[in-house]
Amino acid sequence: MSRAANHAGPATDRFAGQRIPPTLVGLLWISPWLAGFALFMALPIALSLAYSLTDYPLLESPVWIGLDNYRALFSDPLFARVLLNTGLFTLMYVPASTALSILIAVLLNQRVPGLWAFRTAVYIPSLVPVVASAMIWLWLFNADLGLINLALRVLGLEGPNWLGSPAWALPALVIMSLWNIGQPVVVYLAALQDVPRPLLEAASLDGAGPLRRLWHVTLPMISPAILFNVIVTTINTLQVFAIPYIMTEGGPDNSTLMYSHYLYNNAFVYMKMGYASALAWVQFLVVLALTGVLWFASHGLVHYRAA
């Protein structure tokens, strides 16, 4: 590789007689990624499209059935259910986490003593492995002995049977997911620190109070970061798997069965690879479409600074 790569610099080309085209050199350098992309991304995507047109119980060979899997989606009540659950979860989580992380970032951007400790406390939960988070929150949400209900009892309230009740299980998962917002907070904090001081000072001189400065200056200035984070959070939330899988196994009464979990069940529990692949393609298209919509819809709202 090193010798071939040598030829990109014409001034010092030692093998002028047999120069290798730069495109080839470039491809050679990125060849690990090319191979990985072909084998572990492009091929699976193509295979998944092909499988989605077959009946493929994993242990037996695939049999072509055309669009039957896609047709079956429409009459599958669980498909409707997981769409609803995942949609609800996303609708609850994305706005809540965005608002909360901006709020916390704004607080953390103030000059107060002990800032390091506060930042660390907020950031650390996002490092906790998801399985450990699930264990911790299973314990905290325990209806009888969990810290949350114990604390509520101290306040004279009777907490619900969080994970055991179809009404509360999904909100409980949203609450625990809000524990894990270290990453967006760090991002918003970095964005806040990039807000030009003169702008804020000017607003201040014009008599704008802190809240008005936040609303009219700071938020517009960090809106690209917000947009980007909302997109990333939405995409990630639409794929949520581990937390409901470990904590509620989709229950009670399918109230927390998420799209990726249902896909996983079809592929690896029911062994319906064909149907799972159809689900996968629908998910893929939904994520693409949503990304596009979010992107274009918010172009008017987002303030981009001149580069």
Partner 1 sequence: MSHAAITRRAAVGMLAAAGAGFALFGPRPDSDRAARGRLVIDYWEKWTGHEGRAMQHIVDRYNQSQDRAYVRYFAMAGIDQKSIVAIAGGNPPDIIGMGNFSVPAYAESGAIMPLDDLAAAHSITPDRYAPAVWPMLTHKGRLYAIVNTCGALALFYNRAAFRDAGLDPDAPPRTISELDACHERLVRQSADGRLERVGFLHMEPDWWTWHWGYYFGTSVLTPEGDAAADHPANIRAYQWARSYPQRLGVERTLRFQAGFGFYGTPQHPFLAGQVAMTNQGPWLANLINAYKPDMDYAVAPFPVHDDFYDPDQPAGLLDSDVLVIPRGARHPEEAFRFIAFTQQPENVEFLSAAHCKNSPLATSSADFLASHPNPFVRVHAAVASSPRAFIFPRMRTWEQYVAEFNAAMQRIWRGNAEPAAALAAVRRAGQSQIDEARAAAARRATARAGSSGGAGRGPGSAG
Partner 2 sequence: MPAQRPANPREQPLPGRNAPLARAVILALLAAVALCYAAPLVWMISTSIKPEEQAISRDLRLLPDPPGSTPAHAASNYSAVWTDPSIDFPLYLRNSLLVALLGVTGMTLSTAVVAYGFARIRWRGRSFLFAIVLATMMIPFPVIMAPLYVIFAQLGWIGSLKPLWLPAWFGGAFHGAFNIFLLRQFYMGIPKELDEAARIDGCSHWGIFWRIILPLSRPALAVVALLYFTYLWNDFLGPLIFLNHRDQFTLALGLQLYQSKAGNTPWNLLMAASTMVVAPVLAIFFLTQRTFISGVAAEGLKE
290 touches, from partner 2, partner 1, none (C-beta below 5 to 8 Å by class)? none
- Evaluate whether 241 touches 258 at the Cβ level (below 8 Å): yes
**Footprint on residues 193-232 left by partner 1 (CB under 8 A):** none
Helix (H) or strand (E) holding 63: strand 63-64
113 touches, from partner 1, partner 2, none (C-beta below 5 to 8 Å by class)? partner 2
154 touches, from partner 1, partner 2, none (C-beta below 5 to 8 Å by class)? partner 2
Q: Which is nearer to partner 2, 76 or 228 (CB)?
A: 228
Residue 290 binds to partner 1 (criterion: CB under 8 A) = no
Q: Please report how close the Cβ of residue 291 comes to partner 2 at its closest, in angstroms.
A: 6
63 touches, from partner 1, partner 2, none (C-beta below 5 to 8 Å by class)? partner 1
**Footprint on residues 239-258 left by partner 1 (CB under 8 A):** 251-254
| Amino acid letter, 2 | S
CA distance 74 to 64: 19
269 touches, from partner 1, partner 2, none (C-beta below 5 to 8 Å by class)? partner 1
| Amino acid letter, 143 | A
- Evaluate whether 116 touches 124 at the Cβ level (below 8 Å): no
CA distance 171 to 29: 48
Backbone angles phi, psi at 215, to 5 degrees: -75, -40
Q: Which is nearer to partner 2, 111 or 156 (CB)?
A: 111
| Amino acid letter, 283 | Q
**Footprint on residues 57-96 left by partner 1 (CB under 8 A):** 57-63, 65, 77
CA distance 229 to 235: 10
- Residue 55's beta-bridge partner residues? 63
Q: Which is nearer to partner 1, 167 or 285 (CB)?
A: 167
Q: Out of 15, 33, 37, 268, which residue is the one contacting partner 1 (CB under 8 A)? A: 268
* Sign, CA torsion 4/6/8/12: negative
Q: Please report how close the Cβ of residue 75 comes to partner 1 at its closest, in angstroms.
A: 8
Size of the site for partner 1 (CB under 8 A): 26
Going by C-alpha positions, the residue among 114, 105, 128 that lies closest to residue 185 is: 105
The SS3 call for residue 266 is: helix
**Footprint on residues 94-153 left by partner 1 (CB under 8 A):** 143-144
Q: Please report how close the Cβ of residue 113 comes to partner 2 at its closest, in angstroms.
A: 8
57 touches, from partner 2, partner 1, none (C-beta below 5 to 8 Å by class)? partner 1
136 touches, from partner 2, partner 1, none (C-beta below 5 to 8 Å by class)? partner 2
Q: What angle do CA 174, 163, 154 make, to 5 degrees?
A: 90
Backbone angles phi, psi at 275, to 5 degrees: -65, -40
Q: Please report how close the Cβ of residue 65 comes to partner 1 at its closest, in angstroms.
A: 7
**Footprint on residues 22-51 left by partner 1 (CB under 8 A):** 47, 50
In angstroms, the Cα distances linking 59 to 82, 271, 281 are 26, 8, 22
- For the chain, the distance separating the N- and C-terminal CA atoms, rounded to the nearest angstrom, is 37
Q: Please report how close the Cβ of residue 29 comes to partner 1 at its closest, in angstroms.
A: 28
Token pair 């794929």 is at which residue? 239
Report the interface residues with partner 1, using CB under 8 A: 47, 50, 55, 57-63, 65, 77, 143-144, 161, 164-166, 251-254, 268-271
